[in-house]
Amino acid sequence: MAISPVVTYEAAGSNIRITAEKARSLAVRTNSVASVNDDRPAKTSKVQDLAERLNEETKQKYVKDMKVGEGTYANVYRGHLKADPSSKVAIKKIKLIQEYRDGLTMDSIREVKYLQELSHPNIVALHAVFSSKNQNLNLVLEFLPLGDLEMLIKDTQGIRYGTAEIKAWMGMLGRGVWFCHANFVLHRDIKPNNLLIAADGEIKLADFGLARSFADPYMRMTYNVITRWYRPPELLLQARHYSGVVDVWSMGMVFAELILRVPFLPGDGELDQFRRICQNIGTPTEENWPGVSKLLEDATGLAIDKTAIVPVLGRDMFLSRFGTAGPVGVDLLMSMLTLDPRKRCTARQFLEHNWWTSDPRPTAKEDLPKKGGGPEKMGDDLKRRGGEIEDGGGGNKVARRLNFGTAK
């Protein structure tokens, strides 16, 4: 298992391991093993009985307490271990949707798959999975009562922070994303309200409903991912082949938002989003992004006015807007928001940048600003359908959903 270059792990007792308990607690769909005909092999019947027994054992370990969130996709409960009433967990009960095979959407399957595969301090922990008698899938997640990073960014009156705090939050985000990429997983929906905060101040990357493996460089993938305000230009240009640097662009947008305390490029639509990138970062051309002309030819509904090309904006512009991060931090931000994805920094290069060794040093997680979101805020964060893309990126806008049947 890969180890992040700028994080120190505890040895014995570390939570960075995939335990046998997780493997044993994989949910059993009892409707798919409901009846065993006499002519079925006895071995199959024994395996099914064992699976049902393991599922029941896992379910009996946890107790659901009060409901803290309710949505059309899932209900969220506060719960605890039956053997330890003082423990706290969040139990996310995913509702069956009849039009999908086995009642499960592709995003819920992805969420379970990748949370079981990825275990890291900066990724929300999945303790167990079980199915209930009505076939709903239950995810037992770590209890994260302090809300999300978006809450801290928006509270300009009550929350004060500077470069040292930004460095701490971005370091935790970078380590989580690097770990995903080191294990060949793209997150594809990084944004502040998918960054949940643990009781000790640790940032946890959540919502893996749009995640996917990317080990095969020739695999065509959907471009209709990542909330629009955090979407890189290659996806706006409908690229079908891309890498982990799509997540790095989103990280750069979070970095910029932490400094500005408002979204950097809040486009009203895909065309407006692309226009804002051109105006605030630069217009993609063959000179700054070789091969972009082919993407522009193939992209539906996107074109560049050659009489209004904006040169790639230089360091002075970034310093004037993002000077809080310091000159070295601005250099890092520029490398994350490079138009050409082949020249954009990777998650590993992000972590190895000399910004981390420059002053000020990152604030200790225990000393970071906190805002008590409470169980209700945790319920709001977890009840969303994985991969839900908000029309505009936040606020009170109506959410639109992707067609997960075609997303890959």
CB 386 within 8 A of CB 110: yes
The reply to whether 216 belongs to the active site is no
Mode of pairing for the β-strands spanning 62-70 and 74-81? antiparallel
- Pairing type for strands 195-197 and 203-205 reads antiparallel
Q: What is the C-alpha to C-alpha distance for residues 154 and 371, in angstroms, rounded to an integer?
A: 11
First to last CA, the chain: 25
Across the chain, which distance is largest between two alpha carbons, in Å? 77
Reply yes or no: is the peptide bond before residue 360 cis, omega within 30 of 0: yes
Catalytic residue among 148, 189, 207, 381: 189
Residues taking part in catalysis: 189
